[in-house]
Structure 1
Amino acid sequence: MSAEVTWFKSSYSDGGGHDCVEVAIPNGTVHVRDSKLGSANGHPRITISPATWAAFTAELRGSRVEPPM
Structure 2
Amino acid sequence: MIAASPEPHWFKSSYSGGSGTECLECAYIPHGALIRDSKCIDGPTLDVRLSSWRLFIDSVRHGAQPSP
Q: RMSD of aligned C-alpha atoms?
A: 2.2
Give, in angstroms, the shift of residue 3 of structure 1. Answer: 7.1
TM-score by length of 2: 0.67
Q: TM-score, normalised by structure 1?
A: 0.66
The structure 2 residue matched to 1:20, chosen from 20, 23, 33, is 23
Whichever structure has more helix as a proportion of its residues is 1
What SS does structure 1 have at the residue aligned with 2:35? strand
Any stretches of 5+ residues in structure 1 without a counterpart?
A: 65-69
Instruction: Name structure 2 gaps, 5 residues minimum.
Output: none
Q: Which residue of 1 aligns with 2:62?
A: 62
Q: Which has the higher strand share?
A: 2
Between structure 1 and structure 2, the one with the greater Rg is 2
The percentage of counterpart residues that share the same residue type is 37
- Counting matched residue pairs gives 60
